[in-house]
Amino acid sequence: MAKKIDETQVRKVAKLARLQLDDAEVAQFSTDLSSIVEYIEKLNELDTDSVEPLAHCLPVHNVFRDDVVKPSLTVEQVLANAPQRADDFFKVPKILDDNSGA
């Protein structure tokens, strides 16, 4: 049988997670978590010696296309509709002040 999750453990995890649980919730979580651990322990009863570990249940293949160089837009085409520009760049409003530390 699985190790029981007691209320002390639930309170400790709740404190670490900064959750405020009342006594009824602590008791309920203790019962629920113990049931979950007990259910998961059933997996130890399975013979998995001949089962190969895997990362995916289906075969995985590369779905990316080949990298092919294609013509792209010129700087003038890209910046043609820019509301503001500074030389060959988009100009955007300043969002941080000098004292922001960024």
pLDDT tens digits along 47-100:
888 888 888 888 888 878 888 999 999 999 999 999 999 999 999 988 887 776
| Residue 86 within a domain | no
The CA-to-CA distance between both ends of the chain, in Å, stands at 55
Domain count, the chain: 1
Q: CA-CA distance, 42 to 6, in Å (whole number)?
A: 20
pLDDT value of residue 100: 67
| Residue 96 within a domain | no
| Residue 27 within a domain | yes
Q: 38: how many CB neighbours lie within 10 A of its CB?
A: 14
- Domain encompassing residue 32: 7-45
Q: Which one is predicted more confidently, 54 or 23? A: 23
Q: Does the predicted model carry a pTM greater than 0.95?
A: no
Q: CA-CA distance, 6 to 34, in Å (whole number)?
A: 8
| Residue 36 within a domain | yes
Query: What's 39's domain CATH number?
Result: 1.10.20
| Residue 33 within a domain | yes
Question: Is the model's pLDDT at 29 over the cut of 80?
Answer: yes
Distances in whole angstroms, Cα of residue 92 to Cα of each of 82, 85, 101: 10, 8, 19
CA atoms within 13 A on the CB side of 1: 4
| Residue 31 within a domain | yes
| Residue 72 within a domain | no
